[in-house]
């Protein structure tokens, strides 16, 4: 069975962008793949984090995986730092990477912009991301548009290692949803919807109350026209809302366009809000049940054990090929 690896950072509240771009795919892929889904806390600390908030958010993200339908009997759900092989292989990958290719990473440029001093962890975190994938020899990685460059680096590092030390790693392929793999901000469709945006009206959090969701969608920026039409180049804001509608309703873009022909944006936005609420409200109920039940600790422990069984074996092989002396 082909193997999948993915994860989400526990920094800030998860948004519907995370739900559409990642978690929905997590659920879908577990029917046909061997899946490893982690909460990437090692990546989170590339920027300063409040320790108590980091612990809370780490549990929250794991609980949202479960609430959204990721099944721990079919998928390994775990915390990245609970499997030390990630950090170990991460260092080995860092030694294979070149400064130039890390400097070219678009996300690094964006996150480093305007900073007086840039943490080294922010610079080298793509090599840890590569290790996250390669330590499981994943065949497929669910990614948004903004992560494709990191996956290309992962493939380059895998090929570099294979060329230097012998065939060891598979070259992972991206898995992307066709529509709306990248959900944009509600107040600026040129920017990705982000949980770190200081304007809370720019995103819909998975745990936002129904009335908050309705208010945010009613205030979402559109344009001066009235046509509900998917045209990302000329109508980026409306196209973004149509993408969200398609994912939460199960309708195609064409069906949505036909439904609101000649109606303007008012009814479209109201209906969109109800579709989002109808999906998130039961998910939120399940989330609260998981957090209060105490089952999360057991799920994460078992998930880390399953993950480590695979990851530790990969690292053993890598160390042998690199020439490290094994302990006796």
Tokens of 210: 């129904």
Q: Among 28, 148, 170, 192, which one carries the catalytic annotation?
A: 192
Give me the pLDDT at residue 176, please.
Answer: 76
The arrangement of secondary structure in 3-176+294-322, i.e. its CATH architecture, is: 3-Layer(aba) Sandwich (3.40)
Cα 203 to its chain centre, rounded Å, is 15
Q: Candidates 1.20.140.10, 3.30.559.10, 2.70.150.10, 1.10.240.10; correct CATH number of 200-287? A: 1.10.240.10
Q: Which pLDDT tens digit goes with each residue over 61-106?
A: 999 999 999 999 999 999 999 999 999 999 999 999 999 999 888 7
Under 8 Å CB-to-CB from 106, ≥6 apart: which residues? 146, 149
**18-58 tens-digit pLDDT:** 898 889 889 999 999 999 999 999 999 998 899 999 999 99
**Which structure tokens are listed for 310?**
């695979």
Give 10-residue mean pLDDT values along the chain (328 residues). Answer: 94 89 90 97 93 97 97 97 98 96 82 77 92 97 78 96 97 76 86 85 95 96 90 92 93 94 92 97 97 96 98 98 95
Residue written as token pair 């196209």: 239
Token output for 266? 């008012």
Distance in angstroms (rounded) separating the CA atoms of residues 176 and 19: 13
Give the model's pLDDT for residue 181: 60
| Catalytic hit among 28, 109, 111, 215 | 111
111 flagged as catalytic:
yes
pTM, rounded to two decimals: 0.91
Instruction: Output the six-digit token pair for 237.
Output: 């804001």
Phi, psi of 228 (to 5 degrees): -85, 90
Domain residue extents for the chain: 3-176+294-322, 200-287
Which entry of 28, 109, 191, 195 is annotated as an active-site residue?
A: 195
Q: Is 301 a catalytic residue?
A: no
Q: Whose structure tokens read 């999360």?
A: 296
């Amino acid at each position: 069975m082909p193997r999948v690896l993915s994860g989400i950072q526990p920094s800030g509240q998860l948004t519907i962008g995370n739900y559409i771009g990642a978690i929905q795919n997590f659920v879908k892929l577990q029917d046909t793949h061997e899946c490893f889904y982690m909460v990437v806390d090692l990546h989170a600390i590339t920027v300063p984090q409040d320790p108590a908030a980091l612990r809370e958010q780490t549990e929250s993200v794991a609980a949202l995986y479960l609430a959204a339908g990721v099944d721990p009997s079919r998928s390994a759900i775990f915390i990245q730092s609970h499997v030390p092989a990630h950090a170990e292989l991460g260092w080995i990958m860092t030694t294979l990477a070149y400064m130039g290719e890390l400097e070219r990473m678009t996300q690094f440029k964006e996150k480093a912009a305007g900073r007086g001093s840039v943490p080294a962890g922010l610079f080298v975190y793509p090599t840890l991301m590569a290790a996250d994938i390669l330590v499981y020899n994943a065949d497929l990685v669910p990614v948004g548009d903004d992560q494709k460059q990191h996956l290309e680096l992962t493939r380059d590092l895998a090929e570099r290692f294979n060329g230097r030390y012998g065939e060891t790693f598979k070259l992972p392929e991206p898995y992307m949803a066709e529509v709306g793999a990248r959900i944009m901000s509600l107040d600026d469709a040129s920017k990705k919807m982000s949980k770190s945006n200081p304007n809370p009206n720019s995103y819909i959090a998975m745990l936002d109350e129904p009335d908050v969701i309705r208010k945010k969608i009613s205030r979402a920026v559109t344009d001066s026209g009235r046509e509900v039409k998917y045209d990302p180049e000329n109508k980026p804001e409306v196209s973004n809302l149509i993408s969200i509608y398609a994912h939460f309703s199960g309708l195609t873009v064409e069906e949505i366009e036909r439904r609101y022909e000649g109606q303007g944006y008012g009814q479209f936005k109201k209906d969109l809000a109800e579709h989002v609420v109808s999906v998130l409200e039961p998910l939120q109920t399940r989330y609260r049940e998981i957090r209060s039940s105490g089952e999360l600790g057991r799920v994460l422990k078992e998930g880390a054990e399953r993950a480590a069984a695979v990851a530790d074996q990969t690292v053993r092989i890598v160390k042998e090929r690199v020439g490290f002396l094994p302990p006796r």
